[in-house]
A and B are shown apart, each in its own frame.
Chain A
Amino acid sequence: MVVLSSISRGVEPAAGRSGRRPMPHPMDHVLAAVPVFWLAIFFLAPLGFTVVFSFGHATFGGVEPGFTFDNYRMALSGFYGATFARTLVFALSASGLCLVAAFPVAYFIARHTQRRRNLAIGLILIPYFSSFLIRVMSLQMLMSRGGVAEAVLNALRWHQGPLDVLDTQTAVFIGMVYAYLPIAIVPLYVVLDRIPGPLLEASRDLGASRWRTFLFVTLPLSRPGIATAALLTAVPMLGEMVIPKLLGGSRGVLMGQAIAAQYLQAQNYPLGSAMAVLVLVLVAILVTVLARLTKGFAEVGR
């Protein structure tokens, strides 16, 4: 929620310009209380436990309350520290790849679909009606030996013989980009759609080429969309477990798997909690950086 509100401020310039705020209705407080209670019970309370656990001492399948930084020391050193760093690099690169793939699609929908726009958006979102797991499983079948991808690539003569892409990092990246593409496209589309046409015309009238217009007008104005898309893809990728398991053969452990292993296999709740808190801190840093990027955006109106 913190994430969304801080970013959406940039996406909705109207809120910054209106100046006057309407008086809050008493009912508004009641409406606001519902999500606040929900978050307090199902988000803040568990988070509080996690933080408390992360300073405790491990007993097998339990926690002795205490105050020690040992768990954090362990989570940041040696193997787990390396896993942490690898996860960050992985999430950022997969998220970057996702954005690179999403931008042209969003651009096309915003500029070139006219009346078929709803259809285009619908086509992007339809896969979301099926379970995430089913979609990844389907991808696994497509990419396996003797699968459709192999047949198509062979028919196009881009590849000869059996295709062994499954259980590689390539397959994990393909899966990540595929799974998170729609959530990158939608915020980018929203922001590209809001860029006023007259601005682009003005740029062209002043002699800028299409490329320069894109670089100096469109791209800077789509910063909030880029930031939102980056956040919405990178954050879940930091904890991604299913795609590496189904498409990557569980090779090259990421933080999500490491945390789950501490909680379940090793029954070491404090170490698992410390790792989880560190991921959360990382997310907070990402949010701050991206919020910075979109700062002052409200002033650029239509």
Chain B
Amino acid sequence: MTRHPILPSSSLSRRSVLRLLGAFPAAAAAATVVSGASRARAAATGQLNIYSWPDYFSTESLAAYARKTGVTPNIATYDSDDTLFAKLNSPAGAGFDIVIPGSSWIKQLAARGLLQEIDHARLNLGSLDPNLLNRGYDPGNKYSIPKDWGLLGVVYDPQAVGGEIKTWEDFFKAGEKPDVSGKIRLSDSGWETIGPALWLEGKDWNTASVAEIRAAGARLKTFAKHVKSFSGLDANALANGSIVLAQTNQAKARAAIGLNPALKWVVPGPTSELWVDNYAIVKNAPNLDQAYDFLAYQLQPDVQLAETQYIGFPAALAGLRDRIGADVKNADLIFGGKDLDFKALTSFVVNPQTVGTYSQVQAEIQAAAG
């Protein structure tokens, strides 16, 4: 689920550092204290409290919004959907207006009564890509509006791999080759590592039983000896050849290909993941009108374009590809390649019955690699 782009120029980009600082408990605790205090004052004046991934809004759009309305959104950050869930699920989660949950957690957040239904009369979703609306994780977009999206795919060095990768079977086969073994990066998310093995057996990762997940995980545990890393992927590691085959998202792949054009990106068959990060409104949002006003602002095509350029993942605007200028390098990669088939993509939905199994098997896979 490491989905955030690192700027191609350096491994120690501002974003990656911020993200790590966000992951650091002390920093998180400090941020909580500060934001908690400011949130308490929020409701009185025109304010807006957003809880989001770090650096997930264009600073220019935010500044423009502040000029227009006089409201500068307060943004607190988290480093994983699990953290978002845990916080909203606790008293510390009070006072937020807008959160940006991933598609996988919307159902659980809604089931817990932590989100409120979106009043579609107040927002026009007509400009958004129909491929990203009304998906299985939130039918009718009752609780969520797509913000931006990404894929689980593979970036690889064709020379080391010795051919083309088209399916997840090719991926696993390639990993066993002597030039590739030990230079592989897998995701740190259980469903993203085990999912490919399930798909190859024709199973759905959302309906697979505990036994089926364990069986598919066994394949990964055998494969683990070839894996070098499960941590966040550094585009430089791909560029300098210390990693030659990696599960990752399209933005990270684009950064790596920008550094080393010989690398290739593929969304392997038969199935792969589409994740969508969404705008959602918190149950007892203290600044509801401001939240709707901000969302309407964010959904404007110009703002969507600015967001895409800033965060490196495509906003949900329909026809966005045609608005990207010819001067943007590898622009198709922002959208996961030229001929991406949305029908072959599936979104994970966290299920309390199986999510513990995914997590535990992932730990076992990582341990097997040690």
Query: Taking beta carbons and an 8 Å cutoff, which residues of A are in contact with B?
Result: 60-62, 79, 82-83, 86, 131-134, 137, 140-141, 144-146, 162, 164, 166-167, 169, 242, 245-246, 248-253, 257-258, 261-268
> How long is the Cα–Cα vector from A257 to B227 in the complex, in angstroms?
18
Lowest 7 A-B CB distances belong to which pairs? A252-B370, A249-B229, A264-B82, A60-B352, A250-B230, A266-B356, A265-B359
6 further A-B contacts with Cβ under 8 Å, apart from A62-B89, A252-B370, A253-B366, are A145-B241, A242-B24, A246-B20, A251-B366, A252-B366, A253-B367
Query: Taking beta carbons and an 8 Å cutoff, which residues of B are in contact with A?
Result: 11-12, 17, 20-21, 24, 80, 82-83, 85-86, 89, 108, 112, 185, 188, 190, 227-231, 234, 236-237, 240-242, 352, 355-356, 358-360, 362-364, 366-367, 369-370
> How long is the Cα–Cα vector from A261 to B361 in the complex, in angstroms?
11
A266 touches B355 (CB 8 A): yes
> How long is the Cα–Cα vector from A83 to B370 in the complex, in angstroms?
11
Q: How far is the CB of B369 from chain A (nearest CB, A)?
A: 4
Residues of B within 8 A of A263 (CB): 86
- With beta carbons under 8 angstroms apart, the residue of B86, B231, B369 that contacts A61 is B86
Nearest CB to that of B24 among chain A residues?
A: A133
- With beta carbons under 8 angstroms apart, the residue of B12, B17, B190, B241 that contacts A265 is B190
A249 touches B228 (CB 8 A): yes
- With beta carbons under 8 angstroms apart, the residue of B86, B230, B355 that contacts A249 is B230
Q: How far is the CB of A261 from chain B (nearest CB, A)?
A: 5
A266 touches B231 (CB 8 A): no
Residues of B within 8 A of A266 (CB): 355-356, 359-360
Nearest CB to that of A140 among chain B residues?
A: B11
* Contact (A246, B231) CB under 8 Å given A61-B89, A252-B367, A264-B80: yes
> How long is the Cα–Cα vector from A263 to B12 in the complex, in angstroms?
29
B237 touches A144 (CB 8 A): yes
B369 touches A79 (CB 8 A): no
> How long is the Cα–Cα vector from A162 to B362 in the complex, in angstroms?
30
Residues of B within 8 A of A267 (CB): 82, 85-86, 352, 355-356
Residues of B within 8 A of A141 (CB): 11-12
A134 touches B355 (CB 8 A): no
Residues of B within 8 A of A264 (CB): 80, 82-83, 86
Nearest CB to that of B183 among chain A residues?
A: A164
Residues of B within 8 A of A86 (CB): 367
A61 touches B237 (CB 8 A): no
* Contact (A79, B364) CB under 8 Å given A251-B369, A252-B369, A265-B355: yes
Residues of A within 8 A of B112 (CB): 61
* Contact (A144, B360) CB under 8 Å given A83-B367, A253-B366: no
A133 touches B241 (CB 8 A): no
A137 touches B12 (CB 8 A): yes
A-B contact pairs, 5 of them (CB 8 A): A164-B242, A242-B24, A251-B227, A252-B367, A264-B80
> How long is the Cα–Cα vector from A83 to B236 in the complex, in angstroms?
31
B364 touches A162 (CB 8 A): no
B352 touches A251 (CB 8 A): no
Nearest CB to that of A246 among chain B residues?
A: B231
> How long is the Cα–Cα vector from A169 to B112 in the complex, in angstroms?
41
Q: How far is the CB of A4 from chain B (nearest CB, A)?
A: 20
> How long is the Cα–Cα vector from A257 to B231 in the complex, in angstroms?
12
Q: How far is the CB of A147 from chain B (nearest CB, A)?
A: 10
B363 touches A60 (CB 8 A): no
